[in-house]
Chains A and B, each alone.
Chain A
């Protein structure tokens, strides 16, 4: 089914400037792999060597952090939106 993956501005250099990438997928994992195949370098930024979401990335399906659902196995439905968000932190 067709869903949209929203790309944050720091990663748009890897998607040719696209803020939104449409994919056909049943799970978050499938969706991210499709974006990775389409755009070289994207997968390495979002997923680690073990195929898990990198520590400084948050992924939401609609309003839900996938950590609170089934992580990369989270099922998606037509019309859902996957948002990739940079984790923002720091301090003195």
Chain B
């Protein structure tokens, strides 16, 4: 279960829609342990310019800066989000091949510029297979 506040989800949608028809990517930051919850996110650059419509490569410099930003706590990088323009919000074989265990992978399906579906996935490393991680969307108070 991945807990995410609705306002954050809306901002991630916005990033996915603004970058359409290209894939976007970013890091999600939060807590793990008893409760896996997203506290904030950092949009990152997609370095894959040649196939930006169906590939992303998150700029390692953005990863470095974000890791540094939170090395003293209280949160940590807990996952990645990226968009699938005009494709389902399911991990592709390429996503699976390049995935890391322990991270949540949020994928948004963006059709004609609008996010239609968004799902979160976790890798089972021994099977090298993704399983859906239910999203618990916290409504605004």
A residues sitting closer than 8 Å to B (CB atoms) are: 6, 8-10, 13, 19-20, 56, 58, 60, 63, 65, 83, 85-92
Contact of A6 among B67, B85, B98 (CB under 8 A): B67
What residues of B have a CB within 8 angstroms of the CB of A91 in the complex? 23, 48, 51, 54-56, 82, 84, 92, 94-95
Cβ of A60 and Cβ of B54 under 8 Å apart?
A: no
Cβ of B100 and Cβ of A10 under 8 Å apart?
A: yes
Stretch at the interface among B5-13, B57-65, B112-120, B131-139: B57-65
CB-contacts of B52-89 with A (<8 A):
54-58, 60, 63-64, 67-68, 71, 76-78, 80, 82, 84-87
CB-contacts of B17-34 with A (<8 A):
23, 25, 32
A92 CA / B30 CA spacing, docked (Å) = 26
What residues of A have a CB within 8 angstroms of the CB of B68 in the complex? 83
Cβ of B91 and Cβ of A90 under 8 Å apart?
A: yes
A52 CA / B76 CA spacing, docked (Å) = 28
The number of chain B residues with a CB under 8 A from chain A is 36
Cβ of B64 and Cβ of A89 under 8 Å apart?
A: no
B residues sitting closer than 8 Å to A (CB atoms) are: 23, 25, 32, 48, 51, 54-58, 60, 63-64, 67-68, 71, 76-78, 80, 82, 84-87, 91-92, 94-95, 98-103, 105
A32 CA / B138 CA spacing, docked (Å) = 42
What residues of A have a CB within 8 angstroms of the CB of B54 in the complex? 91-92
Cβ of B82 and Cβ of A90 under 8 Å apart?
A: yes
The 8 nearest A-B residue pairs measured at CB: A91-B55, A92-B87, A90-B95, A88-B58, A92-B84, A10-B100, A58-B60, A89-B57
Q: List 25 A-B contacts (CB under 8 A).
A: A9-B76, A9-B103, A10-B100, A10-B102, A19-B71, A56-B98, A58-B63, A60-B60, A60-B64, A65-B60, A83-B64, A83-B68, A86-B100, A88-B58, A88-B80, A88-B98, A89-B48, A89-B57, A90-B82, A90-B92, A91-B23, A91-B92, A91-B94, A92-B84, A92-B85
